[in-house]
Structures are given as C-alpha cells and as structure tokens.
Chains A and B, each alone.
Chain A
C-alpha cells in the first residue's frame, strides 16, 4: 500500500486510515460532521496527494488536450484551470479531471487516484501528436486548504498576494516551498489547492506551518469522509459513483463542460448522437426530511416501480436532511414525478431539487 508524504502526520493525529485507490488515506480524524463544519464555517486541510498529476508537453500539447478532453482547452490562458472530462469513443467517461495551462506548450492534467494508471495508458494510446506525457504523481504532494478562512491562513505564509480568481493559479512559495497555488477545490467553499514536490520533511514542514497560521481560526485536518459529504452537498460528481464508463457527460449533467461545437474530440460523435436522440436517463438531485438515508446503489421508485438508482447519498451535515444524486429514466426526471428512495424495502418519499443542495 502506498503512503503519502504526510502519512506520519495522519498516524500521529490518530486518523482512521483506509485503503483508497491503493493509498493508505485518512478517512476521518475526529468526526466527519465536525470536519465538514470546520470547512463550511472556517478552514480545513485535506491531504489529497493520491491524486494523479500528468504533465503534457510539446508544440502540439493543446491539440492533444483538445482531442482527449471534452471541454474547450483553447479558451484557457496561462494561469487558468478548466474542469473537464475524457471520454471513450462511445461517450462513456474515462475520468473527470482538471486541466491547467502552464505554458503555451505545457498542460498539467490532474486526475483521480483510482483512474490514474488507466488514464495514463489512455493518454499514451491517443498520442498521435508527439507530445511528452509524464506521470509525475509520485513526485507531487497535494494539499487542499478549504473554507472561508483559507485565504487569510495562506496569506500569512505566502510570498505573493493571493489575488487569484476562481479556477486561476500561479506559482508561488508557501512556507518557503515552491508550489502551484490554485484556487480550486471540491467543497464549494473559497479554497486553494497546493501542488508541491519534496519529501516527507518538506510536506510536514508545510503542514505544520499551515496549522500554525490557521490556529486562530481553529483550522482542522479533514479526511476523505468529509470530502465526500462536502462535495455531495454541492452536487459535484464523483467518478466511480455518479459517473463512469457507462455514463455519458450529458446524462451526468456535464453538458456545460462538453463543447460539442469544438472541432473534434474523442467521444464527440457518440455524444452528438445521444443529444439528437434525447437522453434516456438523467442524473437528478433528491432530498428528503425522513430519517432514513439513501446510499449508493439503492433504488429510486415511482408508484411502486423502480425507475432509477442512487449513485451518491448521505445525510447532509449542514441541512440535516437526506440528500442524494442518482440516475432516473428521463420520463421521471421532471418536477411532476413522485419519487421515492427504496430503503430496506420501504418507499421513502423524496423531492426533486436543484443543485447545489447547500446554496452558497
């Protein structure tokens, strides 16, 4: 099992550690609810070093990225980030990812840990552009500093004024360590992601400086458990739950990143076909006041008939209600549909709602 550069810190904090995508990762330190609220109300730090960092370089780097991702990377200027996805020719999703434009001839693609090797192979297989594809995941650590106080914390130990707009980044030093500082995250809060190289001592030094700087705000370490509940409150898709190779971006509600007017990209024809034929199913958001909570894999019913499946579900720590996303037959994706969660053979009425569940 792989360990991140901050493994010893997590162990020292008494975190509950689990195998996630081959890494021993902290799922919670004290309590998912407390960690979740720390991020919504103040600031928290996540070790997400298991994420994959793949660098694309060469004169045709943009052409490569345009071909392999669904969003329009030509719109990126240096210093900007784009949420995107890679698709198979049949429109199924290989992975969702962040695309960083580092230079005119260089991009950084940040992919899910569980898909990293698959993605790397997929990129190599589709490299008719002669670009260098460099998987540097093992060289990079990644910390996410998220929450309304994140900027104040980082400003104390950053050598630059942090005037980044959402989905922008720059190179800077934090705690004297060179890094890519990016205003991105998976929580819906003001937040930053810190990509840096170096061994345990570098990572531990950064971690300790962050916690010193954040002490006055009650900064908390946050595990993967709260990462999941935070992203679900915002309705962000999680690969392996809400999207995978059997779902296409349109039914997943990712039409906004799928630029069908772009010249060509892998999966475009299949997605165009889906669009012209109409969606068979849709990812919807459901909410309920009942004290029974929908989980991944539970069925969605209407009038006693199964019409869909929950892909992500939990109790929202902020709303204290059951929230879920799931796919339903497109005929049942409208507001007039009476939908239920099927929980232990009991139909629990749920209401169709708009994302995000927690309005920011």
Chain B
C-alpha cells in the first residue's frame, strides 16, 4: 500500500498535500483499494467551502458508497473535472490524477491534528 511521506492523512482515509496556503485533497491508496471500482465522485459543483471533519461529497463504488471528509477547512478553488468522465483514475492514481478538490486553507493550525505517514500506516495496520 502506497503511503507517501509528503502528505497528511485523516482517519477517514483522505489525504491532503499542502503547497503554500493551498491544499489538494483526495482519498488514499488504501481507501480506493477498499472501495474497489469507483464509478462516481459526487461533489456539489457549486461547493464554496469545506469545514474540517465535515463531509464534502461521496464516492460511489460498485459495491458501496463512502462519504468524503474534509481534512481541514478552506475555500474551494478548484474541483477535479476529469473525475466526471474518468472516476476510475481515483483507483489508478489516487495521489495524482485522482485528486478531488483544491482549497485555500483557512486555518493552517488545523493541519497539526492530521496524521503523518507513520501514524496513517499504523491506522491501516502496516
């Protein structure tokens, strides 16, 4: 299972990559593996902001559906439009082309409550 060391993680299996005050968010390799074939990523196209710990959308797989939780709060600056037609890239490239939402982080202090690589590996039993 791929768990990159340059990301922060939630216990709900989202990741966030921080670039300056911008955060890029997706779901982890472990999450995509557990979900199986992802057929739809449902995020309101008009979503303006997300709040730490609250759901901002859902991921539909053949077998199941899972909520998406915001790692930190922020103003939404971009959604990954590619996912509309190719949701399966979340399976094939969860940390790259499978990113879901880009935000402007409101309070960088919230980042400290997230899991680092080692803590996330522990969570998923690696």
Docked complex Cα distance between A332 and B40 (Å):
29
B34-64 contact mask (Cβ, 8 Å, vs A): 1 or 0: 0011011010000000000000001010111
A98 CB–B CB distance under 8 Å: no
Residue of B with least CB distance to A290: B40
B65 CB–A CB distance under 8 Å: yes
Q: Are B62 and A317 in contact (CB under 8 A)?
A: yes
Which residues A310-343 have CB closer than 8 A to chain B?
Answer: 314-315, 317, 320
Query: Interface size (A, Cβ < 8 Å)?
Result: 18
Docked complex Cα distance between A253 and B121 (Å):
48
Residue of A with least CB distance to B64: A295
Known contacts A229-B62, A295-B65; is A32 also within 8 Å of B40 by CB?
no
Q: From B36, B42, B62, name the one whose CB has the most chain A CB atoms within 10 angstroms.
A: B62
A225 CB–B CB distance under 8 Å: yes
Q: Are A225 and B60 in contact (CB under 8 A)?
A: no
Q: What's the least CB distance linking A20 to chain B, in Å? A: 13
Q: Are B37 and A33 in contact (CB under 8 A)?
A: yes
A245 CB–B CB distance under 8 Å: no
B residues in contact with A229, CB < 8 Å: 62
Partner of A32, one of B58, B60, B63: B63
A residues in contact with B62, CB < 8 Å: 32-33, 225, 229, 314-315, 317
Q: Are B63 and A314 in contact (CB under 8 A)?
A: yes
Q: What's the least CB distance linking A226 to chain B, in Å? A: 8
B interface, CB within 8 angstroms of A: 33, 36-37, 39-40, 42, 58, 60, 62-65, 91
Instruction: Give 17 A-B contacts (CB < 8 Å), ordered by A residue.
Output: A31-B36, A31-B91, A32-B37, A32-B62, A32-B63, A33-B37, A33-B39, A291-B40, A291-B42, A291-B60, A292-B40, A293-B39, A293-B40, A314-B63, A315-B40, A315-B60, A315-B62
Known pairs A291-B42, A293-B39, A315-B62; list 7 more (Cβ under 8 Å).
A27-B63, A31-B91, A225-B36, A225-B62, A293-B40, A314-B62, A344-B58
